[in-house]
């Protein structure tokens, strides 16, 4: 079976629009779901799953695969939408049986139930250390494949991340690509309102990472960054890479972007869903004009 690959940026933008609508439909049919965070992470996730991972739904345990670790595990519904879209799971599992006993899609992703999920996550600040384990395994086997780890900016407050950041930088695990969905909002605080970063990029750099500080809402820039990653060098490894993808929580839905903390978890009724889908279509069309 062929690996999934949407080659051009407009197709990726369209796909991101579709996934955003699936997320909102989940918030209508599945009940309350984490919503604004998945919306901000959608563009990066789409760029990875539909192009840069070389994701192969029929060869999920290929030892040489690129891996994706969802460190911000509360964004599981984003993976569910992508996997259903790819045909890995039926839509009913998401829309009718989300978070129900005996079904696969829980509020946080479980690797044993959800085909396509590499590790069960939910507790924050674990993904980078998972990535380090994978990175060493790949190196030990002479594999140059990469591990992409998606984190939230709120999640970066977890101390365990910094143990992993120090380690990966020190050991030059250049097969790790950390991506921070910098959506500037946690469940309770806007960025800088409580915990303050002078510069998140400088923090990563200080521990030996190469940082790309990008517009995480610009598919072209995301695609260019992922296409231009420094190569994985098994003999003389370079630095691990951190992409800070600057976004807004609720990305693509204006009324959520205006009050993002209110949409950390949310549900929609029929009327609101229709309005939201129209907004997403409008947003997607505008994104395509940016190219």
Partner 1 sequence: MAGFTFNISDIAAMMNAKDQVTKKMVQMVTDNPKVCYINSDGTGKSGPVRELYDRHPNRVLDVGIAEMNLVTMAAGLARKGYIPYGQTFGPFLCVRALDQIHNDLAYNDLPVRLIGTHGGLSSGYGPTHNTIVEFGVMNAIPNMTMIAPSDAAQCVKMLEASLTWPGPIYIRIPRGEEPAVYNSEYDYAIGKAIEVRDGSDVTIIATGTGVYNSLRAALMLQEEGLSVGVIDMHTVKPVDREAIERAARRTGTLVTVEDHNILGGLGSIVADALMEAGVPARLKKIGIPDEFVSFGYPEEIYPHYGFDGPGIARTVRAFCS
Told to check if 123 binds partner 1 by CB under 8 A, we report: yes
Binder among 32, 160, 210, 254 for partner 1 (CB under 8 A): 160
Binder among 60, 92, 111, 278 for partner 1 (CB under 8 A): 111
Rank residues 111 and 290 by Cβ distance to partner 1 and give the closer one: 111
Told to check if 131 binds partner 1 by CB under 8 A, we report: yes
Binder among 29, 167, 207, 261 for partner 1 (CB under 8 A): 167
Binder among 36, 47, 119, 151 for partner 1 (CB under 8 A): 119
Told to check if 115 binds partner 1 by CB under 8 A, we report: no
Binder among 5, 60, 137, 291 for partner 1 (CB under 8 A): 137
Binder among 31, 54, 57, 122 for partner 1 (CB under 8 A): 122
* Rounded-to-integer distance, Cα 82 and Cα 41, Å: 12
The total number of residues shown for the chain amounts to 291
Told to check if 66 binds partner 1 by CB under 8 A, we report: no
Told to check if 196 binds partner 1 by CB under 8 A, we report: no
What is the SS3 string spanning the chain?
A: CCCCCCCCHHHHHHHHHHHHHHHHHHHHHCCCEECHHHHHHHHHHHHHHHHHCCCCCCCCCCCCCCEEEECCHHHHHHHHHHHHHCCCCCHHHHHCCCCCCCCCCCCCCCCCCCCCCCCCCCCCCCHHHHHHHHHHHHHHCCCCCCEEEEEECHHHHCHHHHHHHHHHHHCCCCCEEEEEEECCECCCCECCCCCCCCCHHHHHHHCCCEEEEEECCCHHHHHHHHHCCCCCCCCCCCCCEEEEEECCCCCCCHHHHHCHHHHCEECCCHHHHHHHHHHHHHHHHHHHHCC
Told to check if 235 binds partner 1 by CB under 8 A, we report: no
Told to check if 284 binds partner 1 by CB under 8 A, we report: no
Q: Among positive and negative, which fits the CA dihedral 33, 35, 37, 41? A: positive
Rank residues 102 and 159 by Cβ distance to partner 1 and give the closer one: 159
Rank residues 123 and 282 by Cβ distance to partner 1 and give the closer one: 123
Binder among 22, 49, 95, 130 for partner 1 (CB under 8 A): 130
Binding segment (CB under 8 A) for partner 1, from list 8-16, 33-41, 160-168, 192-200 = 160-168
Binder among 100, 115, 136, 288 for partner 1 (CB under 8 A): 136
> Contact positions toward partner 1, by CB under 8 A?
63, 111-112, 118-123, 125-126, 129-140, 159-160, 163-164, 166-167, 170
């Amino acid at each position: 079976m062929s690996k999934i690959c949407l080659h051009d940026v407009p197709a990726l933008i369209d796909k991101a629009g579709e996934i955003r609508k699936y997320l909102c439909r989940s918030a209508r049919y599945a009940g309350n779901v984490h919503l604004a965070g998945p919306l901000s992470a959608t563009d990066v996730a789409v760029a990875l799953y539909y192009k840069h991972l070389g994701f192969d739904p029929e060869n999920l345990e290929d030892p040489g695969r690129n891996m994706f670790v969802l460190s911000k595990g509360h964004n599981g519904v984003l993976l569910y939408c992508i996997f259903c879209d790819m045909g890995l799971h039926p839509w009913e599992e998401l829309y009718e049986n989300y978070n129900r006993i005996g079904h696969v899609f829980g509020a946080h992703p479980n690797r044993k139930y959800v085909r396509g999920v590499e590790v069960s996550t939910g507790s924050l600040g674990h993904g980078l250390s998972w990535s380090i384990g994978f990175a060493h395994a790949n190196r030990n086997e002479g594999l140059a494949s990469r591990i992409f780890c998606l984190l939230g900016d709120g999640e970066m407050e977890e101390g365990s991340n910094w143990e992993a950041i120090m380690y990966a930088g020190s050991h030059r695990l250049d097969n790790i690509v950390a991506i921070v969905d910098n959506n500037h909002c946690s469940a309770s605080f806007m960025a800088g309102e409580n915990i303050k970063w002078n510069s998140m990029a400088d923090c990563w750099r200080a521990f030996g990472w190469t940082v790309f500080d990008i517009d995480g809402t610009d598919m072209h820039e995301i695609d260019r960054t992922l296409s231009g990653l420094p190569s994985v060098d098994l003999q003389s490894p370079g630095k691990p890479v951190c992409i800070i993808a600057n976004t807004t929580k609720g990305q693509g839905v204006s009324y959520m972007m205006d009050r993002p903390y209110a949409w950390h978890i949310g549900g929609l009724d029929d009327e609101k869903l229709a309005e939201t889908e129209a907004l997403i279509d409008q947003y997607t069309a505008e994104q395509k004009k940016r190219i």
